[in-house]
Amino acid sequence: MTRLEKIKLIADTYGYGPQSRQLIEEMAECTVAINKLWRNRKNKKQKKKWRKRLISELADVLIMANQMLHLLGCGKEIEKEIDFKLNRQLNRINKDCKTTDEEPAEAAKTDHLKCERHITNGGRCKDTLPKSCSLFKTVGKEK
């Protein structure tokens, strides 16, 4: 049985009411794990514990969210909404960085990483750059 078949079978067995409430519970548990990981980020042992817990809770949320997609029959609508929201955010990034009229995804890969706001912001965006990127060593050092 495939993962999708399992998700559909479980969702159909319990139905919308119970599974929607279960999704709410899983999202709450995920929120707690996110906060605990954040609070314990400097304690190596606790950080490892809460990272593992967060991964487990994220899996639960994704399972339940996929059950909701099935029960609501809204897969295509969700895909369209996700594309819209991703493109909207990339356009916001491009606007903040004063990029060209390139496609949002292309501009985000290039101009966003070079924009003045990010280079001079104490290296805040350095963590988002791959270590192989030539900008990695310069971000946050140029003033």
Predicted confidence (pLDDT) at residue 104 exceeds the cutoff of 50: yes
Span 109-132, pLDDT tens digits: 555 555 544 554 444 454 454 444
3-state secondary structure of 60: helix
User: What does the block give as tokens for 5?
Assistant: 């078949």
3-state secondary structure of 95: helix
Gap between the Cα atoms of 42 and 36, Å rounded: 11
What local confidence, expressed as pLDDT, does residue 124 receive? 47
Helix or strand run (H / E) with residue 68:
helix 44-72
User: What does the block give as tokens for 56?
Assistant: 């487990």
**Which residue from 22, 15, 32 is spatially nearest to 60, judged by alpha carbons?**
22
3-state secondary structure of 103: coil
What local confidence, expressed as pLDDT, does residue 90 receive? 93
The answer to whether 57 and 29 have CB atoms below 8 angstroms apart is: yes
Confidence band of 88 (pLDDT split at 50, 70, 90):
very high
What local confidence, expressed as pLDDT, does residue 58 receive? 98
User: What does the block give as tokens for 35?
Assistant: 């906060």
What local confidence, expressed as pLDDT, does residue 110 receive? 55
Predicted confidence (pLDDT) at residue 41 exceeds the cutoff of 70: yes
Predicted confidence (pLDDT) at residue 26 exceeds the cutoff of 60: yes
